[in-house]
Homo-oligomer: A and B are copies of this chain.
């Protein structure tokens, strides 16, 4: 015979305590059902994305749970931003080693809650499991765009300008700094510069504020997550064009400039290392001024870094006008 609350399983209690407060949408049914429901916005397409982060692979085991949670959400939010989509909500699938206790979960849930509020994406449902492996956080996120308007990787045309948001390379340099795998990895940075790079690795700043500007102006877009060089090559490939990028125009933070000045080889890390979570997009010349203005109104910095031409590949040209060659174009776990 099964009675009431005394027979709530530990999993149910965990969900009720940590995750119900995030399930603010009525269709989430307070996480008391098998599934959630959502009435899609009229005249809209859904935009669907899933991305997972794994302990020891995408984050360090000693990273704060709150930042791990936000990173898991933000790597998905970044894709919605690049597709021009507004977030609707997310599903969470969590596999946890038994060492993880209530303190970690409490901080993790608080991180999720903070970002769910900031980005307007409530939790619709989830699944929690034990794993003998590392903590694995898989998010499925859904957003919406007016029907037929999702911005794709395909669509760039010869003559389009290439824009990128924010700054490039900070996260990859922040990771290198943390791992100290590069000779002289302190690069004589001051504390603020070190902190800037570290925080850019720890916590992505997805450009969801830019989504509407991208959707109404860009011919093609993607988020920069595996390194600008490789990501732009992918965009060029599916668009059937080439990209010509002027590295001298690349937006770099003070900290990244200092690193590259001290260790010029780190330019490759900056351009191919990934974890930027910026938006790269192509904009027809007649729309470029409008895109710039819309980005400014959204308080997101965007920089023109090159142009689309006939051909294939993504070609990066140095300040000396000579093409740059990279050992590998992008990060891959495989």
Task: Point out the residues of chain B lying under 8 angstroms from A93, CB to CB.
Answer: 50-52, 93, 138, 140
Task: Point out the residues of chain B lying under 8 angstroms from A329, CB to CB.
Answer: 2, 7, 9
With A9-B332, A333-B11 as given contacts, are A132 and B50 in contact (CB-CB < 8 Å)? no
Whether A70 sits at the interface, judged by CB under 8 Å, is no
Whether A58 sits at the interface, judged by CB under 8 Å, is yes
With A2-B232, A52-B129, A133-B132 as given contacts, are A34 and B140 in contact (CB-CB < 8 Å)? no
CA A40 to CA B45, docked complex, whole Å? 7
CA A153 to CA B3, docked complex, whole Å? 16
Main secondary structure of the interface of A (DSSP, over half): mixed
Whether A294 sits at the interface, judged by CB under 8 Å, is no
Whether A261 sits at the interface, judged by CB under 8 Å, is no
B-contacting residues, A290-334, CB 8 Å: 312-316, 323-326, 328-330, 332-334
A238 touches B57 (CB 8 A): no
Chain B, residue nearest A13 (CB):
B334
A334 touches B50 (CB 8 A): no
With A38-B45, A150-B35 as given contacts, are A128 and B334 in contact (CB-CB < 8 Å)? yes
Task: Point out the residues of chain B lying under 8 angstroms from A132, CB to CB.
Answer: 56-57, 133-134
Whether A262 sits at the interface, judged by CB under 8 Å, is no
Residue pairs across A and B with Cβ atoms less than 8 A apart, 27 shown, are A1-B316, A1-B325, A2-B229, A2-B230, A3-B233, A4-B233, A4-B237, A7-B233, A9-B330, A12-B234, A33-B153, A34-B82, A37-B145, A38-B46, A38-B48, A40-B44, A48-B142, A50-B93, A51-B127, A52-B95, A53-B129, A57-B129, A57-B131, A128-B333, A131-B136, A136-B136, A136-B138
